[in-house]
């Protein structure tokens, strides 16, 4: 098990290193990078600031010296400096990441419970009215754009309730957990529900399909012949055997969300990583864009390592191979 985890970790570190090389080549060496210092400084920077950036980043030296400086700074946790807002990129990401992580912390368990629960419920009643209903509801939310569902919730659950004297949900904004845990959850409940409903549809369909494939397997027939309860057969044996594609999808979704739930954060005014990335692109704030790309890439790699670890827990054959 430890060898398996060590091998996956080394592969993940290799991928992260390759990402740093690609990011460096795109932004520092590739086409359109003739004046890197000017791009990093921003459109309103003075010539003195541009010259200072060029000197600090060793832009007057060969590219391999530039990359070594770029890489060593990353290793020490220095993601660069945002001259547009006059603060470090690490500080900007430090402020935005807890918001995105809070969104993930509440939405992920919710979409897993809704998606996997309804998928298993439909699979054990194939071709029934309840099966068709669960599939139709999943397809409805899966097909609905996130911004449409989010705006509907703001209109109905915030605006309509508020004008009738029931101000249960805030319209937008974020309250840190350390300041007020109750207000933190209250400010995130609508984004959690929005993201969970849109994402859960894929898990319903995936869980249903996987469960239908394993429900007639020989090991489940044997369990039934031994007299095990159907509930135990379904949830302890069947769901475990069917959970590999679910875990795969979960790792993909978590990795993508670590990079920022762009639309959800925009609709509800949450200044997380996705919200920050959009504004950095609008302002052509290159250091922040580079920092978020690197953090999001590392998040995807970590999520995939955890997925591989769950594979090993769920299926002993993975550890052996």
What confidence tens digit (pLDDT) does each residue in 131-173 have? 888 889 888 888 888 888 888 888 887 777 778 777 777 767 7
Greatest Cα pair distance, the chain, in angstroms, is 81
Q: What is the DSSP letter of 25?
A: I
pLDDT at 17: 93
Residue recorded with tokens 């250091």 = 287
How far apart are alpha carbons 319 and 110 in whole angstroms? Answer: 30
pLDDT at 57 over 80: no
E strand or H helix at 283: none
Question: Which run of H or E residues covers position 82?
Answer: strand 81-82
Model confidence over 217-234: pLDDT tens digits?
778 788 888 888 878 888
Q: How confident is the model at residue 16 (pLDDT cuts 50, 70, 90)?
A: very high
238 vs 217: CA distance, rounded Å: 9
pLDDT at 32: 53
pLDDT: which is higher, 260 or 136: 136
Domain boundaries, the chain: 2-88, 90-320
For 120, 263, 304, the CA distances from 206, given in Å and listed in that order, are: 10, 24, 19
List of residues 6+ apart from 172 with CB closer than 8 A: 154, 268, 269, 270
Rg of the chain over all Cα atoms, to the nearest angstrom = 24
* Two structure tokens written together for 298: 């590392």
- Percent of the chain topping pLDDT 70: 93
CATH topology of domain 90-320: MetI-like fold (1.10.3720)
Q: Strand, helix or coil at 63?
A: helix
Query: How far apart are the C-alpha atoms of 17 and 307, rounded to whole Å?
Result: 20
Q: Nearest to residue 191, comparing CAs of 224, 146, 228?
A: 146
Confidence band (pLDDT; 50, 70, 90) for 31? Answer: low
Mean per-residue pLDDT, 46-66: 78
Tokens at residue 66, please?
């530039």
Question: Which residues are bridge partners to 87 per DSSP?
Answer: 82
Q: What's the CA angle centered on 121, arms 151 and 144, to 5 degrees? A: 20
pLDDT of residue 220: 79
- Alpha-carbon distance of 244 to 274, in angstroms, equals 29
Mean pLDDT in residue range 80-102: 87
Of 206, 195, 205, the C-alpha closest to 257 is 195
Residue 20: per-residue pLDDT: 92
Question: How far apart, in Å, do the first and last CA atoms of the chain sit?
Answer: 11
Tokens of 170: 């805030």
Confidence band of 110 (pLDDT split at 50, 70, 90): very high
């Amino acid at each position: 098990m430890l060898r398996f985890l060590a091998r996956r970790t080394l592969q993940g570190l290799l991928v992260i290193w390759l990402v740093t090389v690609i990011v460096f080549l795109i932004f520092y060496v590739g086409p359109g990078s003739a004046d890197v210092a000017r791009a990093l400084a921003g459109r309103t920077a003075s010539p003195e600031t541009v010259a200072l950036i060029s000197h600090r980043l060793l832009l007057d030296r060969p590219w391999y010296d530039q990359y070594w400086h770029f890489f060593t700074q990353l290793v020490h946790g220095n993601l660069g400096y945002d001259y547009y807002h006059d603060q470090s990129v690490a500080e900007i990401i430090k402020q935005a990441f807890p918001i995105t992580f809070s969104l993930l912390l509440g939405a992920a368990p919710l979409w897993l419970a809704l998606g996997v629960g309804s998928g298993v419920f439909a699979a054990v009643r194939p071709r029934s009215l309840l099966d068709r209903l669960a599939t139709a509801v999943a397809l409805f939310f899966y097909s609905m754009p996130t911004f449409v569902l989010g705006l509907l919730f703001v209109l109905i659950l915030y605006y309509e309730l508020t004008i009738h004297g029931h101000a249960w949900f805030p319209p937008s904004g974020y309250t840190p957990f350390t300041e007020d845990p109750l207000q933190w959850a209250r400010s995130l409940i609508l984004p959690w529900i929005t993201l969970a409903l849109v994402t859960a549809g894929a898990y319903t369909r995936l869980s249903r399909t996987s469960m239908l494939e394993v429900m007639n397997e020989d090991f489940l027939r044997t369990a039934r012949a031994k007299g095990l309860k159907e509930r135990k057969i379904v949830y302890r044996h069947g769901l475990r055997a069917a959970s590999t594609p679910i875990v795969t999808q979960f790792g993909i979704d978590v990795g993508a969300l670590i990079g920022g739930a762009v639309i959800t954060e925009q609709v509800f005014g949450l200044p997380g990583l996705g919200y920050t990335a959009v504004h950095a692109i609008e302002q052509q704030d290159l250091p922040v864009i580079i920092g978020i790309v690197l953090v999001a890439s590392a998040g995807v790699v970590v999520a995939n390592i955890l997925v591989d670890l769950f594979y090993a827990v769920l299926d002993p054959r993975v550890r052996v191979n």
